[in-house]
């Protein structure tokens, strides 16, 4: 705890320090401009009914914005510590919800706006509770619910609780507390009245002590903006990453702020600004743009209702200039499907023979990938499930790629579960890339709890889903799968060579076996031979920035390392056996010798290589098209 | 106009018809389940203070949801026409805002919740206006503002106005109107009281006539869901596409619905359901999930406050099951940047020589593309401008690709304008693919109004931005740009051939000139020659589904149509001259003849082709990686 005098001195040291963000960014420049514009407005007056508040500098003026990912923009006296006063009420209400549960809290205090002033003594006698937790009576009732075995534990807990929202340890201003305690007769009257009607049960002086202390906690605009941003970020402090308040409790707090946060100015406030907000008589206002940012303003000149004059004007302008009103149209449901492509447009990274490729291009049972993105909530998920239902009758496998999905909310999870229930297992549904979804989305447990016949499959990536689908299609087609050792004549790279040329190639070949995981080619090595897979399959991978990435796979009958046929090459990638592999290795030097007599050996091989690479280029361009 | 009896008969014909959507979709199944669950609840009673309302079937129960893109899900008596009653109030308030302007409307009626019942006679005597437009007094005041020269014109205008929200022509139920008119004494008292205090100026009987008629307009749940969806879609009817109400007026209507729409249940409603809503004494409730959907419920059993018992329960469950609460966390600001890549990772479709490609890979002045997506509003645009500011000092050109941006709201436009103002023209900012942005976003006019030194460039597509950047880099580099006619020795496809081989190729070549736009190759033609560009450039395009798409371009020294060297090929793409072009054409037949003597001619050309195609494949794979 520090005294008011100590605080002022510390502040005077700070005010000289520059604020880099105010000049470095467009938003900082905007806030500084807003501050200059509104500084001239000297209407309103400093609150005087608590003596300590009357000492505030009427010229003081600070603004701060904190985004849900922790970016802070500020201007003016953003760092000046002042007592939080009534702006503490939403946070204490949150504590009550978190520690006592919604039902218990609703017994203690209602959620109806009163249209009365903040220090009104009118109580909801029908339900025997104060009307709402944003007026003093309601906040006193909320304060009684704050947990802790002793007054000291409750005080420490309360200061810590507010500090978790601010992202730093806060302190009580003892002079403000003394002033509140000495002069808070009206609040004392309210508390005794509530004890009288059984709305509170504990000693009113004890409850009031904590109530006055919570009003006397010192925060700067910067602290308050971070506190508001924590509410904007569904209860997760953007600076510390701590989940301070559960998302459902945040929703309840914001609801009450939106109807009761600005005293008897609530209707006009929602009409003009449209953001959940709370003001306090020290001249602070905080506003929350859910999912976006928290805003805090400090200017101690108050209007007749008790709201900061400049603070209200900053909120109005900020909400107007950046279209932040809660009911401004901004949800974009159409973009939940980032892209859609079929297995005909995009193939797996497995390199296929022309015969296999033809089968895959012509196969009727379709696989379709829906690449999802952003946040899935009811409106966006409805479009996804509608597309799923459209495709259901026409495809064999439907892959939902979650790579770019940031969050699946409870509403979307419910909708997906309902849709899968109606689908009776056809088509096959595969979810890929769900690994990076935040665990609180609850998607995976909800889907895994489905009955087996409608439960979807989970695969780490979409390429694997494509490869498995292709393998299934090929297995049931008539095309040769080359499970056995192959003859030269069956190799695509030798297609078109006559029997004599094939026979002469026998002198250039050796066969090799590799175990699962064994490296066959290392990037950077000199290239003397090219390979053809006779049995098994190999993976081609590139290492970039220390991370190895699989870029393709090669199965029976297909070549790898064939760029060795061009002079001076070094290996460009690593090749590793996926399973036990049998390979033919062809000596490049020996083939060049043979080609001196039979030039068609080389021109034929090079032509086949061109066909194969061109085909891969064509498919890559198709994929770019499908993804773009 | 039809009478109540006619209506009932028509309905009885309709009730037998099946509702395909209820069984065909998961949401339809959900609604049918909700209906079955809640049908058992027979608490509440049918309104009787207007005799005609007392005739409603207490068992009637319908639910309907309409999405912002016009998908309709429904269950039960969703098609039963009933009088709209107070649910007309938000729409008439919207008409007043649209026709008279916000300022005039606020003089006539306030926006503060009263906490009183809907037919309260309490008026705001300080401001000399009813408290808000959702109670009868306020709605009568709003009705006075409805435009039209005669009572008949106003009546016709009012019915048309409501019909524009419903997407079909509506009608007044004369029996309900007669009943309202005969028994609406309390409303008559309110109107005379308001005339007495100057809150309205026109003949009260005249105003009440239109007021009673608007209450008597017949709507089904389906109509009402579409009306709500029109509000959810920022005023654009999702069935007709008509912009019925301006987005700013929609915001104001939703604000008032959120604080005053559910009578003295407003605080608890926002707490429990959290959606702007309006109920009526006929048993209708409509709720709006902005940007997502409209919901309508009909069940005439009312609670003591005058809200439909089952209607409230449906709204509560629907909002809970699909997390539709206004303050449920769902905005996803992180996904506004769909992807980011530099000109080193993705090159233009212009085919480059190895020397040019090397220059481009090594060039220090960077171009970075930010692919944007979804809706740009303050929170999402803030991340974009933050990234722009991060990159500003490091890059030469910054491309903002708007291809996947659905909408840029006023807040995001303001932010972009402010950021560009601070940037003083460095780096070069290029906006691409802005062509499909809805005109109401106002982005283009706002940016074009910027001073010339900070005004960004607009280009139709990102490929063109990449190509122009590459051309600039190449022009200032030392690399030969081959503006003049080239010698054979300088052609990449012949790289490595000796002087004698090059000399013998003279017998295989002819040169051709093509005018701008002239077709050089047509897809499907037999391929007898391949070409090398000597001067100018050509575009390669594919026609798919009747639409031609440019897939690449070829400049001096580069070959096209070279797949002709492989046997039996037909042209796979169209090639057209971009500018006046000089080409070498090489006869494939003649080259094969030459290769019989000098096999290295063919193997060398094929090898160069492999290098070129492999390079393009490598770049395509890089692009897939960068886009993925």
Residue in A258, A330, A566 closest to B377 by CB: A330
Are B453 and B503 contained in the same domain? no
- Examine residue B327 and state whether it is found in any structural domain, yes or no: no
With CB atoms and an 8 Å threshold, state whether B259 touches A247.
no
Residue of A138, A382, A405, A559 for testing the chain B interface, max B β-carbons within 10 Å: A382
- The residue among A416, A343, A408 whose CA lies nearest residue A373 is A408
When pLDDT is averaged across residues B141-170 and rounded to a whole number, the result is: 97
Q: How far is CA A288 from the centre of its chain?
A: 18
Residues forming a β-bridge with B569:
none
Under the banding of pLDDT at 50, 70 and 90, the label for residue B24 is low
**Do the domain assignments include residue A145?**
yes
Residue A12 in this model has a pLDDT that exceeds 60: no
Please tell me whether residues A454 and A524 are part of one structural domain: no
3-class SS at B588?
Answer: helix
DSSP A470-503: HHHHHHHSSS----SPPPGGG-GGGTT--HHHHH
**Rg of the Cα atoms in chain B:** 35
B341 DSSP β-pair partners: B369
The residues of B that are catalytic are 86, 89, 211, 263, 281
**pLDDT single digits (tens) B398-429:** 999 998 887 888 888 988 998 888 887 688 99
Q: Once rounded to an integer, what is the mean pLDDT over residues B256-280?
A: 88
A338-393 tens-digit pLDDT: 888 888 888 888 877 777 888 888 877 789 999 998 788 888 888 898 899 889 88
- In chain A, what percentage of residues exceed pLDDT 90? 44
B386 with A71: Cβ contact below 8 A: yes
Kindly report the nearest CA distance between residue A271 and chain B, in angstroms: 5
Both tokens of B490, joined, read: 């300088």
Inter-chain residue contact B323 with A110, CB threshold 8 Å: no
Residue B517 is part of a domain; what is its CATH number?
2.60.120.10
| Cβ density class B586-604: b for 16+ within 10 Å, e for less | bbbebbeebbeebbbbbbb
Q: Are residues A604 and A464 in the same domain?
A: no
Same domain assignment for residues A10 and A148: yes
Q: Is residue A328 included in any domain, yes or no?
A: no
In the predicted structure, residue A325 carries a pLDDT above the cut 70: yes
Chain B residues in contact with A391 (beta carbon < 8 A): none
Question: What ipTM score was computed for the predicted complex, to two decimals?
Answer: 0.79
Task: Assess whether B571 and B596 both reside in one domain.
Answer: yes
% pLDDT > 90, chain B: 44
**Distance between CA atoms of B274 and B158, rounded to whole angstroms?**
29
**What's the token pair of residue B435?**
């062509």
Say how far apart CA A236 and CA A232 lie, in whole Å: 8
CA-based nearest residue in chain B for residue A562: B610
The answer to whether A294 touches A74, Cβ cutoff 8 Å, is no
Can you tell me the distance from the alpha carbon of A202 to that of A209, in angstroms, rounded to the nearest whole number? 12
Band (pLDDT 50/70/90 cuts) for residue A15 is very low
> In chain A, what residues touch B26 (CB-CB under 8 Å)?
385, 389, 415, 418-419, 421-422
CB B327 within 8 A of CB A255: yes
Q: CA separation (Å) from A381 to A399, A418, B30?
A: 15, 12, 15
Over 90: is that where the pLDDT of A609 sits? no
* Domain assignment present for A326: no
Please give, rounded to a whole number of angstroms, the shortest distance from the CA of B350 to a CA of chain A: 14
* Higher-scoring residue by pLDDT: A493, A94: A94
What percent of the residues of chain A are helix, what percent strand, and what percent coil, each to the nearest 5?
Answer: 45, 20, 30
Q: Is A211 a catalytic residue?
A: yes
A12-30: average pLDDT: 50
Q: For residue A45, is it within any domain?
A: yes
A514 contact partners, CB below 8 Å, separation of at least 6: A520, A538, A577, A580, A581, A583
Instruction: Please indicate, yes or no, whether residues B494 and B443 belong to a single structural domain of this protein.
Output: no
Cβ–Cβ < 8 Å for B626, B346? yes
**Do residue A613 and residue B617 have CB atoms under 8 angstroms apart?**
yes
| pLDDT above 90 (res B66) | yes
Check CB contact under 8 Å for B606 and A610.
Answer: yes
Query: Using CB atoms, which residue from B321, B338, B611 is nearest to A414?
Result: B321
Q: State residue A480's pLDDT score.
A: 63
Residue A421 confidence class, pLDDT cut points 50, 70, 90: confident
Q: How much is the mean pLDDT over chain A?
A: 86
Higher pLDDT, A274 or A375: A274
Which one of A21, A74, A83, A86 is the catalytic residue?
A86
Whether residues B70 and B188 fall in one domain: yes
**Considering only alpha carbons, which residue of chain A is nearest residue B387?**
A25
Q: Which of A45, A56, A35 is nearest to A301 (CA)?
A: A45
Q: Is B17's pLDDT higher than 50?
A: no
B271 and A258 within 8 Å at the Cβ level: the answer is: no
Are A331 and B330 within 8 A, CB to CB? yes
Task: Choose between B573 and B228: higher pLDDT.
Answer: B228
Q: Where does the pLDDT of residue B627 fall: very low under 50, low under 70, confident under 90, or very high at 90 and above? A: low
The pTM of the full predicted model, rounded to 2 decimals, is 0.79
The residue count for chain B: 628
A89: pLDDT strictly greater than 90: yes
Domain boundary among A296, A321, A346: A321
Residue with the bigger pLDDT between A14 and A520: it is A520
Show the tokens assigned to A174: 């003892």
- Contact indicator for B383, B587 with CB cutoff of 8 Å: no
What is the spatial distance between Cα B343 and Cα B94, in angstroms, rounded to a whole number?
A: 50
Displacement of CA A378 from its chain's centroid (Å): 17
Q: What's the pLDDT score for residue A330? A: 58
**pLDDT for A6:** 38
Does residue B183 share a domain with residue B132?
yes
**C-alpha–C-alpha distance, residues A64 and B175, integer Å:** 59
Structure tokens at B309: 């018992």
Please report residues of A whose CB lies closer than 8 A to that of B276: 327
Among the three residues A452, A477, A502, which one is the final residue of a domain in this structure?
A: A477
- Among candidate residues B567, B613, B603, the one with its CA nearest the CA of residue A606: B603
Do both A315 and A374 map to the same domain?
no
Tens digit of pLDDT for each residue in A490-525? Answer: 778 888 888 888 888 888 888 899 999 999 999 888
| Identity of the residue in B270, B410, B606 whose CB atom sits nearest the CB atom of A259 | B270
Q: Is B67 exposed, middle or buried (0-12, 13-18, 19+ CB in 10 A)?
A: buried
Query: In a 3-state reduction of DSSP, which class is residue A352?
Result: coil
Chain A residues whose CB is inside 8 A of the B573 CB are none
Is A225 inside a domain boundary?
A: yes
Confidence check: pLDDT of A581 > 60: yes
Q: What is the pLDDT of residue A331?
A: 56
| Closest to B424 (Cα-Cα) out of A198, A9, A29 | A29
Q: Report residue A626 as tokens.
A: 């499908």
E strands in B409-516: 428-432, 457-459, 509-514
For the cut 80, the answer to whether the pLDDT of residue B119 exceeds it is: no
* Domain end (from A293, A321, A349): A321
pLDDT at B592: 85
Beta-strand ranges (E) seen in B168-312 are 171-172, 217-219, 277-279, 284-289, 293-298, 301-302
Give the position of tokens 């509403």.
A411
Q: How many CB pairs under 8 A join A and B?
A: 352
Question: Mean pLDDT over all residues of chain B?
Answer: 86
- Residue B95 domain flag: yes
A539 in active site: no
Q: Looking at the structure, do residues A506 and A399 belong to the same domain, yes or no? A: no
pLDDT in tens, B306-356: 899 999 999 999 998 888 888 876 555 567 888 888 888 888 878 777 778
Q: List the alpha helices (DSSP H) in B546-598.
A: 588-597
A89 is catalytic: yes
Rg (CA), chain A: 35
Section B45-67 average pLDDT? 90
pLDDT in tens, A172-229: 999 999 999 998 888 999 999 999 989 999 999 999 999 999 999 999 999 999 999 9
Which CATH number goes with the domain that contains A447? 3.30.750.24
Mean pLDDT of A113-135: 79
Q: Is residue A362 located within the same domain as residue A272?
A: no
Q: Which CATH number belongs to the domain containing residue A310 in this structure?
A: 3.40.710.10
| Residue among B609, B318, B387, B40 nearest A617 (CA) | B609
Strand partners, B541: B550, B574
Point out the catalytic residue in the list A30, A73, A93, A211: A211
Q: How confident is the model at residue B588 (pLDDT cuts 50, 70, 90)?
A: confident
- Read off the pLDDT band of A24 (50, 70, 90): low
Domain count for chain A, please give it: 3
Lowest mean pLDDT among A65-79, A94-108, A131-145, A501-515: A501-515
Q: Does residue B280 or residue B478 have the better pLDDT?
A: B280
Chain A residues whose beta carbon lies within 8 Å of the beta carbon of residue B563: 610, 614
More confident residue, A19 or B112: B112
Instruction: Compute the nearest-CA separation of A136 from chain B (Å).
Output: 17
The answer to whether the Cβ–Cβ distance between B323 and A256 falls below 8 Å is no
Whether residues A421 and B271 touch (CB distance < 8 A) is answered with no
Are B112 and A112 a contacting pair at CB < 8 A?
no
Kindly report, residue by residue over B530-559, the tens digit of the pLDDT. 898 888 889 888 877 676 777 778 888 888
pLDDT of A2 reads: 42
Q: How far is B131 from chain A (nearest CA, A)?
A: 10
Per-residue pLDDT band at A3 (split at 50, 70, 90): very low
What residue numbers bound the domain in which B590 lies? Answer: 488-626
B407, B411, B599: residue with CB nearest A332: B407
Q: Tell whether A172 and A134 lie within a shared domain.
A: yes
Residue B328 lies in a domain: no
Asked whether the beta carbons of residue B322 and residue A414 sit closer than 8 angstroms, the reply is yes
Q: Residues of B with CB below 8 A from A267's CB?
A: 110-113, 132, 256, 259-260
Q: Which residues of A touch B132 (CB under 8 A)?
A: 267
Residue pLDDT, tens place only, A299-311:
999 998 889 999 9
- Which carries the bigger pLDDT value, residue B229 or residue A507? B229
Confidence of residue A140 (pLDDT cuts 50, 70, 90): very high
Q: Which chain B positions have a beta carbon within 8 Å of A407's beta carbon?
A: 330, 332
Alpha-carbon distance of B3 to A238, in angstroms, equals 61
């Amino acid at each position: 705890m520090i005294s008011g005098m100590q605080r002022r001195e510390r502040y005077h040291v700070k005010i000289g320090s520059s604020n880099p963000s105010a000049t470095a960014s467009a938003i900082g420049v905007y806030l500084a401009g807003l501050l200059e514009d509104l500084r001239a407005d000297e209407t309103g007056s400093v609150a005087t009914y608590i003596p300590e508040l009357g000492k505030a500098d009427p010229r003081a003026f600070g603004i701060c914005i904190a985004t849900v990912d922790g970016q802070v923009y500020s201007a003016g006296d953003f760092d000046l510590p002042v007592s939080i006063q009534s702006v503490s009420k939403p946070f204490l209400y949150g504590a009550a919800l978190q520690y006592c549960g919604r039902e218990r809290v609703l017994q203690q205090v209602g959620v109806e706006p009163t249209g009365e002033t903040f220090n009104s003594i009118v109580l909801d006698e029908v339900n025997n509770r104060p009307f709402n937790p944003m007026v003093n009576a309601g906040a006193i009732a909320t304060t009684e619910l704050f947990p802790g075995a002793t007054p000291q534990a409750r005080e420490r807990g309360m200061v810590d609780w507010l500090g978790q929202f601010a992202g730093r340890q806060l302190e009580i201003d003892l002079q403000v507390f003394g002033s509140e305690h000495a002069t808070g007769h009206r609040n004392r009257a309210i508390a005794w009245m509530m004890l009288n009607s059984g709305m509170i049960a504990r000693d009113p002086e004890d409850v009031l002590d904590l109530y006055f202390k919570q009003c006397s906690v010192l925060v700067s605009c910067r602290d308050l903006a971070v506190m508001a941003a924590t509410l904007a970020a569904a209860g997760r402090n953007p600076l510390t990453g701590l989940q301070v308040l559960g998302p459902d409790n945040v929703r309840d707090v914001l609801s009450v702020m939106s109807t009761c946060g600005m005293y008897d100015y609530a209707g006009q406030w929602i009409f003009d600004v449209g953001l959940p907000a709370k003001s306090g008589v020290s001249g602070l206002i905080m506003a929350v743009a859910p999912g976006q940012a928290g805003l805090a303003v400090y200017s101690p000149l108050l209007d007749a209702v008790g709201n900061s004059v400049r603070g209200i004007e900053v909120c109005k302008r900020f909400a107007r200039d950046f279209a932040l009103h809660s009911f401004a149209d901004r949800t974009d449901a159409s973009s939940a499907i980032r892209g859609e492509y079929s297995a005909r447009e995009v193939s797996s990274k497995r390199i296929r023979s022309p015969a296999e490729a033809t089968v895959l291009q012509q196969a009727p049972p379709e696989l379709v990938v829906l690449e999802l993105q952003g946040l899935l909530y009811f409106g966006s998920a409805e479009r996804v499930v509608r597309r799923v239902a459209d495709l259901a009758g026409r495809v064999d496998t439907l892959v939902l790629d979650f790579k770019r999905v940031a969050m699946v909310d409870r509403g979307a999870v419910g909708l997906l579960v309902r849709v899968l229930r109606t689908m009776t297992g056809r088509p096959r549904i595969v979810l890929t890339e769900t690994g990076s979804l935040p665990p609180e989305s609850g998607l995976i447990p909800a889907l895994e709890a489905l009955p087996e016949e409608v439960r979807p499959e989970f695969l780490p990536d979409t390429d694997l889903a494509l490869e498995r689908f292709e393998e299934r299609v090929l297995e049931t087609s008539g095309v040769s799968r080359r499970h056995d050792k192959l003859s030269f004549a069956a190799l695509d790279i030798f297609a078109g060579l006559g029997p004599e040329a094939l026979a002469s190639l026998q002198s250039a070949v050796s066969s090799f076996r590799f175990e699962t995981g064994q490296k066959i080619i290392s990037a950077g090595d000199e290239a003397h031979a090219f390979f053809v897979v006779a049995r098994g399959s190999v993976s081609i991978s590139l290492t970039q920035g220390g991370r190895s990435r699989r870029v393709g796979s090669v199965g029976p009958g297909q070549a790898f390392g064939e760029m060795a046929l061009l002079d001076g090459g070094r290996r460009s990638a690593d090749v590793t056996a996926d399973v036990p592999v049998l390979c033919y290795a062809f000596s490049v030097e020996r083939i060049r010798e043979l080609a001196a007599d039979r030039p068609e050996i080389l021109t034929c091989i090079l032509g086949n290589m061109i066909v194969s690479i061109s085909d891969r280029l064509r498919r890559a361009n198709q994929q770019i098209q499908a993804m773009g």
